Structure 1
Amino acid sequence: MGSQWGRDRFYRQARTEGYRSRAAYKLLDIQKRFQVIRDDDNVIDLGCAPGSWLQVLRELTDGQVIGVDLNPVPSIEGVVTLTGDFTTEYMHEKIRSLIGVANVIVCDAAPKLSGNKSYDQARAVGLSEEACDFALDFLKPGGNFVVKTFQGDMFHLILDKMRENFFGVKVYRSKAARKGSTEVYIIGKKFKGHRNDSEG
């Protein structure tokens, strides 16, 4: 496995430039193409371990940057990291006390893979939908949301949800994605506004 990672130019580049993982270049690629983050935005990163997206976010904005993950994340200067489940009411209250609402929410999280393609894809889409629900509660109107998901039979569920809640929605495969991966990012721009309580 080591030789495989060693041949990956993004892996080598991350090591050279000090990023914690090659995933940093996915966010840099998305930002270059879609300009989702402005230099004064407050940003929440869901599923932030090991922290490479937090490193990029800290470079892109002077606003507040908060990362949440089930696993502890080594500290990054100028970034607040929280350990826990972003779907819980406890974590929601914790985040609200720190940031209130955010201009941008990003999520590069993925479930641990079992090897069962349909099961893994269902879990991945479910995680993406949970991240979207979080964004609908924490984004300012006009805010932006970036979420990783995987193409397959259930892909339309998260895509439809995004189209209901953002004025602009694009599906993008990063140039930094590994060959053969079905991984894509959905970019939602200009959040329409907080959902009604009647929607749940």
Structure 2
Amino acid sequence: MTKPPPGRSMSARLRTAKGRSPQSQRWLERQLNDPYVQAAKAAGWRSRAAFKLIELDDKFRVLKRGARVVDLGCAPGGWTQVAMRKVGDRGHVVGLDLLPVDVVPGAVILQGDFQDAEAEKRVEDALGGQADVVLSDMAPNTTGHAATDHLRIMALAELALDFALRVLAPGGAFVAKVFQGGSEKDFLDTLKRNFAVVRHAKPPASRKDSAELYVVATGFKS
């Protein structure tokens, strides 16, 4: 797996800001100077977020050869790419998103809402059985209001967990994005009841100014 290079000694700046808002200008400059963005392009990953899953898996080893994996909210496909690389030809990876996603070689990409029973059945049919791992890198559009953003992302994490509890095989794993401040008590209690080990982690690829964390739950008790 390609690792990101050290940051540049000199930052790149856009040649012109004409027609761009200050917020757009800042975002584009950050992208230009982000070593993870550069490394993702060089390695063929669809997003810098691919490195977050690589780093989480390097630490927790949730993606094993031959595993059956569901990637919820998979657009643009970076996590699906990594999962497919990790599980190999004997594994199965199914990505699901409301938006259309370009083909990821070896994976099955479905368009639909994971809250629909029909979509859940399509996922299980594509996997050929229960999942060994459920991944969710989903996040809502942020408002800048910390309490609101925390509630929104926890709502998505809870929906992803509810899905995982229905489709995971015994011993399976669940990985989902949350925000700093940790998981809500009810959410954490549900995880602890249903998984042998529950941990939080912030991979190095997460920007330092980002509030995101990931919950990694392993050893599903069924």
Q: State the secondary structure of the residue aligned to 2:56.
A: helix
Superposed, 1:32-181 pairs within 5 Å as 32-62=58-88, 63-99=91-127, 100-152=129-181, 155-181=184-210
More deviation, 91-100/42-51: 91-100
1:178-189 equivalent positions in 2, closer than 5 A: 178-189=207-218
Higher relative contact order (CA 8 A, sep 6+): 1
- Structure 2-normalised TM-score? 0.83
Sequence identity percentage: 39
Q: Distance in 1 between matches of 2:77 and 2:175?
A: 16
The answer on whether the counterparts of 1:159 and 1:186 sit within 8 Å (CA) in structure 2 is no
Q: Which has the larger radius of gyration?
A: 2
What is aligned with 1:20?
46
TM normalised by structure 1 equals 0.92
Shift of 1:154: 5.9
Residues 122 and 154 in structure 1, CA contact (< 8 A), matched pair in contact too:
no
Distance 1:153 1:80 in 2: 32
The gaps in structure 2 that reach 5 residues or longer are: 1-26
Q: Corresponding residue for 1:8?
A: 34
Cα RMSD for the two superposed structures:
1.3
Q: Is the 8 A contact 1:141 1:190 kept in 2?
A: yes
Gaps of 5+ in 1: 194-200
Query: Separation in 1 of the partners of 2:198 and 2:71?
Result: 19
On the 8 A contact 2:108/2:126 being kept in 1, the answer is: no
Instruction: Answer yes or no: is the 8 Å Cα contact 2:170–2:219 preserved in 1.
Output: yes
More off after superposition, 45-54 vs 158-167? 158-167
CA distance change for structure 1 residues 31 and 153 in 2, over 3 Å: closer, same or farther?
closer
Classify the secondary structure of the residue corresponding to 2:96. Answer: strand
Q: Does the CA contact (< 8 Å) of 1:46 and 1:69 recur in 2?
A: yes
Shift of 1:155: 3.1
